Structure 1
Amino acid sequence: MRYFAALIFSILILGSCQERVVVKPAAQLRLEYPKAVYAEADFDCDYSFSVNQIARVQKRANCWVNVDYPQINATIYMTYRPVENNLDSLLFDAQKLTYDHTIKANKILEQPRIDPINKVYGMFYMIDGDAATQSQFYVTDSINHFVTGSVYFNAKPNFDSIWPAVEYLREDVRRIMESMSWTQ
């Protein structure tokens, strides 16, 4: 019996001399972007706003605008529509477009924008989860102008992986909404 106990003890001692296995956490990509510097976007339409200087503004037909971020691989698609006794349907469409993402979204936070001095009213939607877009907004003067915008990444939505870029672009969307002005 003593030999058997000595054998077991020897096996345990020799087996414990191996290097310990340490489980390491999965590596995460560290995304850093330059401090945002804003300038007035110049595209000759009935509205204007400030845009981050790392972005490129591309005017399309009917004063629709793409704000392209090549460094981030994302675009803010903005559409302009004149208000012609159709404000209710424009608001409904903007809200429906946002809430169509509830299938993949974990939560949708709303942040209203009310600026009676510049006559800019709207809503900023922050969509958390693996939805196709993580930020959407609309702004209007309630009489003549209505602008909607959506942020899309040129990649499969994986909210955890793109979180730093989402936060960066949400600040840019806030700045677009805050600086929105109507030229007529």
Structure 2
Amino acid sequence: MTKLLLSLHVIAAIVAIGPVTVAASMFPPAVRHAMASSDDRHAWANVALLHRICRAYAVVGVAVPVFGFATAKNMGVLGDTWLIVSIVLTLVAAVVLGALVLPRQSALLESPERAAAPAEGAALDGPAAPDGPGTREEGPTTVVPRSTTVQLAMFTGVFNLLWATVTILMIIRPGSTTGA
């Protein structure tokens, strides 16, 4: 039973966390591209797709700790330090994703610049977004400062590093019977 649970845990981690890390990493440059390309109708569709991937796989990612707890219980390692550290790092990663990455992605999708971007099939000469604090003019539309997407990229990087650390702990866990 332990081998089955461990297999499900690893598969869930690969299938759920992998797409989130990739899509979240691609999101900030995709937003910058979409804002710079006011005539690119597909750029915002790509940004929205990346955000949907992040949201959907974040929900699917709940399976990772569920199978992880079941595996740890079967293996009798629930009290081991490496596992407790992994659990804490997983919780921090979940908070970073849920409180810092996904809301910022949503805000960028709902920004005035997004509203000013042409919708599929819409005319390209629509009104530009109004100027506001923290915005700067670049061509016909107002764009979010680069620092906004850089900050999102930083939070995404923290999320990715946390998951990499958890993965490393799972592989080289102290007291492992694998001999590693």
Greater share of strand: 1
Using the size of structure 2 for normalisation, the TM-score is 0.26
> Structure 1 length normalisation: TM-score?
0.26
Larger radius of gyration: 1
Relative CO higher for 1 or 2, CA cutoff 8 Å, sep ≥ 6?
Answer: 2
